[in-house]
């Protein structure tokens, strides 16, 4: 949107500036060129008087002195020929160039042709030198006439370097002004675009906040123009409805899990009481019923934990993943000791990410709990944190029975359990909870079967969980 607005605002303005600047540059070039031509004609008119006197009297000493001083002061070359075309007072270099048929005007008319035309009593039409692209000097020829008789002609040849330098200087100044105006326009338009997009940026920030779990984020209804205010009101209503639905879901899961625990506990107690009055032939059935009841209690406890974890009240902050790994290992150390399992903790250092610490800790707890269930006594569970090219990884590796390749793809599904692990306590929600929690911080769970057996679960986290 920003790029489109900049294009819409800047493109027409730049086009207008280019047109106006081009017109001004062309006008200034023609003005300098016209001034140069007028100066040439004025100088030529002055020398016509002196040349007429020299041709009538046959004495050109005064004329030659004036021509020399003019050449020294202005760098122009003056030549005078009689009615037969013979050079009588002159700059020989100009005359030599003229008879060599070199092109000096923009119309490619040779000096000799202009002289012949002037000696016939006619003056060649003025030809613009075509600055700044013309090369060579600009030459003008004028006939010398006395009493209706052509006595000769005067040639004046001037370099184009001075008017070209003036024109270049003006164009450079125009370019500098153009650049300054464009820079000012870009600055003003950027501020204008920022002002136009400010309401949309507030909507974007609110949406990001809601994505991060800040469900109470709203935007003031009076933000932006009337069209934007209507969209903001719709957005606020949508956010309120989403928050209401999510809160109801969480409350339902929490209430259902909490309310079902009491009847289930009472049912288990009644079953234990009834079991005391049965003979030994019922022991297997009682034990199976007891295990199923305990399994249902664990499922309810897991559902309650999941509902609480999805409340997302923790703000994003810098989290040291190595410290998180060590803290959670310390929390599970007693359980590991009871099962005669040891931990090996390793961190490469510098594993700091901006994320929700509570979500990461809860996900790691679920993974460690899963590893402890399947780790055989006397084995070691490796917990490590390291940096990757696109983020960080927390890895938990056990030495349990592991999973087949076709089972790994189902391991993060809720309530999924391997057929051979049905006798191990669990609800099939641990890794599913970890996967859901990491998705809320733009992370993911990767499960692999490492060489040597067991299962390796990696918690993949970006540098910033945004």
pLDDT in tens, 96-144: 444 444 443 333 346 777 788 888 877 766 566 666 666 667 888 888 8
Report pLDDT for 97. Answer: 46
Biggest CA pair distance of the chain: 160
- Return the number of other C-beta atoms located less than 10 Å from residue 89's C-beta: 24
Name residues whose C-beta falls within 8 Å of residue 402's C-beta, 6 or more positions apart in sequence.
449, 453, 454, 455
Res 371 pLDDT > 50: yes
Res 462 pLDDT > 60: yes
In the numeric block, which tokens belong to residue 240? Answer: 């309120």
Res 375 pLDDT > 80: yes
In the numeric block, which tokens belong to residue 51? Answer: 């040349």
Q: 97-111, 138-152, 244-258, 426-440: which range is least confident on average?
A: 97-111
Name residues whose C-beta falls within 8 Å of residue 62's C-beta, 6 or more positions apart in sequence.
50, 53, 54
Distance between CA atoms of residues 346 and 98, nearest Å:
93
Q: 53-62, 63-72, 73-82, 134-143: which range is least confident on average?
A: 134-143
Q: 52-61, 79-88, 91-100, 431-440: which range is least confident on average?
A: 91-100
Report pLDDT for 168. Answer: 87
CATH number of 221-312: 1.10.287.130
Domain limits, the chain: 2-164, 221-312, 314-466
Res 313 pLDDT > 60: no
Res 181 pLDDT > 80: yes
Q: What is the pLDDT of residues 8-50, one digit of tens each?
A: 888 888 899 889 988 988 888 888 888 888 888 888 888 888 8
Give mean pLDDT, residues 436-450: 85
End-to-end CA distance of the chain: 21
In the numeric block, which tokens belong to residue 11? Answer: 């493109």
**pLDDT band with cut points at 50, 70 and 90 for residue 427:** low
Q: 149-158, 235-244, 310-319: which range is least confident on average?
A: 310-319
Mean pLDDT score across all residues of the chain:
79
Report pLDDT for 180. Answer: 93
In the numeric block, which tokens belong to residue 431? Answer: 């890794």
Element (H, E) at 218: none
Q: What is the pLDDT of residues 342-354, one digit of tens each?
A: 999 998 877 888 8
Give mean pLDDT, residues 252-274: 75
Res 262 pLDDT > 60: yes
Give mean pLDDT, residues 385-390: 86
What is the DSSP secondary-structure string of 311-363?
Answer: T--PPPEEEEHHHHHHHHHHHTHHHHHHTT-EEEEEE-S--EEEE-HHHHHHH
Residue 119's SS3 state is helix
Q: What is the pLDDT of residues 205-230, one digit of tens each?
A: 777 777 666 767 777 766 667 777 78
Bridge partner list, 141: 155
Look at domain 314-466 and name its CATH class: alpha beta
- The b/e string for 12-27 (b: 16+ C-beta within 10 A; e otherwise) is eeeeeeeeebeeebee
Name residues whose C-beta falls within 8 Å of residue 183's C-beta, 6 or more positions apart in sequence.
none
Cβ contact 151:52 at 8 Å: yes
Report pLDDT for 103. Answer: 40
Distance between CA atoms of residues 121 and 249, nearest Å:
108
Give mean pLDDT, residues 421-450: 77
Q: Which CATH superfamily groups domain 2-164? A: PAS domain (3.30.450.20)
Task: Describe the chain by its helix, strand, coil percentages, rounded to 5.
Answer: 60, 15, 25
Res 269 pLDDT > 70: yes
Q: Residue 36's closest CA among 173, 135, 164?
A: 164
- The two beta strands, 380-388 and 342-347, are parallel
In the numeric block, which tokens belong to residue 238? Answer: 């949508």
Q: What is the pLDDT of residues 356-365, one digit of tens each?
A: 887 888 889 8
- The b/e string for 426-451 (b: 16+ C-beta within 10 A; e otherwise) is bbbbbbbbbbbbbebbbbbbebeeee
Give mean pLDDT, residues 52-78: 83
Q: Which residue has the tokens 């990757």?
A: 388
Bridge partner list, 202: none
2-164 and 221-312 have identical folds: no
Residue 123's SS3 state is coil
In the numeric block, which tokens belong to residue 164? Answer: 């070209």
Res 308 pLDDT > 80: no
């Amino acid at each position: 949107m920003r790029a489109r607005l900049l294009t819409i605002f800047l493109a027409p303005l730049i086009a207008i500036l280019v047109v106006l600047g081009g017109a001004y540059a062309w006008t200034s070039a023609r003005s300098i060129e016209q001034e140069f031509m007028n100066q040439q004609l004025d100088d030529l008119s002055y020398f016509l008087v002196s040349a007429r006197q020299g041709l009538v009297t046959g004495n050109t000493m005064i004329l030659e002195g004036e021509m020399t001083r003019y050449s020294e002061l202005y760098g122009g070359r003056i030549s005078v020929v009689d009615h037969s075309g013979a050079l009588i007072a002159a700059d020989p270099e100009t005359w030599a160039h003229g008879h060599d048929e070199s092109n000096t005007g923009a119309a490619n008319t040779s000096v000799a042709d202009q002289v012949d035309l002037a000696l016939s009593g006619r003056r060649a039409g003025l030809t613009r030198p075509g600055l700044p692209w013309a090369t060579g000097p600009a030459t003008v020829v004028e006939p010398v006439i006395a009493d209706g008789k052509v006595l000769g002609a005067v040639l004046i040849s001037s370099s184009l370097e001075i008017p070209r330098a003036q024109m270049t200087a003006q164009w450079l100044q125009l370019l500098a002004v153009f650049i300054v105006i464009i820079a000012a326009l870009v600055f003003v338009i950027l501020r204008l675009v920022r002002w136009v997009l400010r309401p949309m940026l507030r909507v974007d920030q609110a949406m990001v906040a809601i994505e991060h779990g800040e469900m109470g984020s709203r935007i003031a209804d009076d933000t932006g123009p009337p069209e934007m205010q209507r969209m903001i009101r719709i957005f606020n209503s949508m956010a309120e409805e989403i928050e209401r639905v999510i809160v109801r879901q969480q409350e339902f899961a929490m209430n259902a899990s909490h309310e079902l625990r009491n009847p289930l506990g009472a049912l288990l107690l009644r079953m234990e009481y009834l079991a005391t009055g049965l003979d030994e032939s019922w022991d297997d059935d009682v034990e199976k019923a007891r295990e199923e009841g305990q399994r249902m209690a664990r499922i309810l406890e897991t559902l309650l934990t999941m509902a609480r974890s999805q409340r997302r009240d923790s703000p994003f902050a810098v989290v040291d993943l190595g410290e998180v790994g060590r803290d959670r290992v310390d929390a599970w150390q007693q359980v590991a000791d009871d099962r005669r399992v040891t931990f090996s903790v390793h961190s490469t250092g510098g594993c700091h990410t901006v994320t929700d610490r509570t979500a990461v800790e809860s996900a790691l707890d679920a993974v460690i709990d899963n590893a402890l269930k399947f780790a055989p006594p006397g084995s070691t569970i490796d917990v490590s944190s390291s940096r990757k090219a696109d983020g960080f990884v927390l890895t938990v590796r056990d030495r349990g029975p592991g999973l087949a390749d076709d089972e790994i793809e189902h391991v993060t599904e809720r309530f999924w359990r391997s057929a051979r692990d049905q006798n191990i306590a669990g609800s099939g929600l641990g890794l599913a909870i970890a996967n859901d929690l990491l998705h809320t911080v733009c992370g993911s769970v990767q499960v692999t079967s490492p060489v040597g057996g067991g299962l390796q679960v990696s918690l993949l986290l970006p540098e910033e969980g945004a």
